[in-house]
Amino acid sequence: MFEIVVGVGGVVSGTIISYIWLNNVSKNKFMHYELEAKAKAKAIENEIEISLKEADVKIKEKEIEQTKIFQKRLTEVDERERSLMLQGKEFTAKEEKLNILEQSVLDKSGQLEKLEAQKQIEIDKTIEKMQHVASLTREEAKVYILEKVEEQSRSEVAGIVRKYEQEAKVEGKKKANYILAQATTRYAGEFAGERLINLVNLPSDEHKGRIIGKEGRNIKTLEMLLGVDIVVDETPGVILVSSFNLYRRAIATRVIEVLVEDGRIHPGRIEEVHEKVQAEFEQKTYEEGENVLIDLGLFPMHEELVMLLGRMKYRASYGQNALLHTLEVAKLARVMAAEMGGDEKLALRAGLLHDIGKALTQDMGGSHVDIGVDVCKRHGEHPTVINAILAHHGHEEPDSVESAAVCAADTLSAARPGARREVLESFTKRVKDIEDIALSKPAVNKAYAINAGREIRVIVNAHKISDNETVLLSKEIAKEIESKVQYPGEIKVNVIRETRVTSYAK
């Protein structure tokens, strides 16, 4: 029992001691937390004070900034008010000037009406005087005065025409030179010269006798069947095949080459080889036309047109190969149309088909323009293509940018140096016709065609014509040349008027 009491007393004592210790520890912790909280509160108060001070500073800065902006805008408003006042004064001054000018115009209008009335009175008086002095009727006097006025007006009109024509020429020349420069620099065409004969090389001179045949049978068959002239002369190892028709000449050359390689030359064999070579050429011609269209991106096209394009390779004009000329025109026209904002592909097609009729002229005869129009219409070509065919030789006016580009490109291709050869007689006749047209004018003293007939210099009598009237004379001569003379490219007409005064000191 005693032990239980002692145990219970120990437990109670321990409990009391533990309670006291824990109570002391709690108080210490509470004091620590209290101090820590007070320190944090003090720090927060300091931060708040600093933030308030910074906010005050920013508010003051904002107030200063807003004050400056207000002062600036106030100044601007003052300046605008002053400007408006000045503009108002200027407007008032201008209004006064306008009123003065309006009154002046009204006054001058009244004076003009008075002058018109006075002029009519003077004309009537002049007519009456002429009736009395020259015994002219009123109508005759009026006609005489009108003729004099027209003569005087002609000189004034010529001066105005000369002025504006010069300005138009300068601007037009700049634009035209730019377009032509762009076209010619982007396309470099070859110089195409076609000859009238082909040379066929022979293994030996013995083949000449075999080509001639017994009593000339072989050569007669060749010439009759092939439509060419075969010249066998003393030149060793060659014979000449001559014809204006390039297609026939090419076939004849190939037929003779095949016969020489084969060794069998007689009329029956000649006919057989000719049929075979002709069939090969037909296929080759179609392929040539097809390749051209594929290269230009214009395929497909009607088969007849493809065949005719291929045949253009065997056609020449003034020594210029027709297919190369056509390709050159097509490519130049495409570049020009692009520079002028036209349809490049349509210009290319029109340029390619503008001379298509030349492929048939040697077989059908007639104008290549009419033949080309007929063929293209039959196969449903674009109206611009038809117009380009007609316009490039002046049968119609160009109705689109593409047609105009084809006309310019055709002239450029045909007229460039070395592109074509001319027959001497036709060249001489054209030069003489040009000079005769100029010499037929009343005030012309002399006329000289120069630069291969592409320019004419006209010397006029200075006492019969004025400087301004030379403009009208040059236009008259140019118009007459256009209507009466056939020529490639263009002809420049220069009218020269010169006054010479000579004195002698004695």
At residue 114, the pLDDT reads 79
Query: In terms of residues, how long is the chain?
Result: 506
Please check whether the two domains, 197-291 and 292-415, share a CATH topology.
no
Q: Which CATH number fits domain 292-415: 3.20.20.60, 1.10.3210.10, 3.40.50.1820, 3.30.70.890?
A: 1.10.3210.10
Could you read off the pLDDT of 169-181 as tens digits, one per residue? 666 666 665 565 5
Could you read off the pLDDT of 227-260 as tens digits, one per residue? 788 888 777 888 888 877 777 888 888 888 888 8
Rounded to whole angstroms, how far apart are CA atoms 38 and 32?
10
Count the alpha carbons within 13 Å of 267 in the hemisphere toward its beta carbon.
8
Nearest Cα residue to 318 out of 168, 154, 487, 447: 487
Note the CATH number of domain 197-291.
3.30.1370.10
Could you read off the pLDDT of 401-440 as tens digits, one per residue? 888 888 888 877 776 555 555 555 566 778 888 888 999 9
Three-state DSSP state, 452 = coil
At residue 194, the pLDDT reads 47
- Please spell the DSSP secondary structure of 385-407, one letter per residue: HHHHHHHTTTSS---SHHHHHHH
Q: What percent of the chain has pLDDT over 90?
A: 1
Rounded to whole angstroms, how far apart are CA atoms 323 and 311?
8
Compute the mean pLDDT over every residue in the chain, rounded to the nearest whole number: 77
Phi, psi of 77 (to 5 degrees): -60, -45
Domain extents in the chain: 35-114, 197-291, 292-415, 425-497
Count helices and strands in the chain by DSSP H and E runs? 15, 8
Beta bridge partners of 230: 241
Amino acid letter, residue 156:
E
At residue 477, the pLDDT reads 92
Q: Which CATH number fits domain 425-497: 3.30.300.20, 3.40.50.300, 3.30.720.110, 1.10.1060.10?
A: 3.30.300.20
Lowest mean pLDDT among 111-120, 142-151, 293-302: 142-151
Peptide bond between residue 203 and the one before it cis (omega within 30 degrees of 0):
no
Rounded to whole angstroms, how far apart are CA atoms 176 and 314?
33
Residue 319 has pLDDT above 80, yes or no: no
Could you read off the pLDDT of 83-116 as tens digits, one per residue? 777 776 766 776 777 778 777 777 777 777 777 7
Residue 30 binned pLDDT confidence (cut-offs 50, 70, 90): low
* Contact (CB, 8 A) for 412 and 332: yes
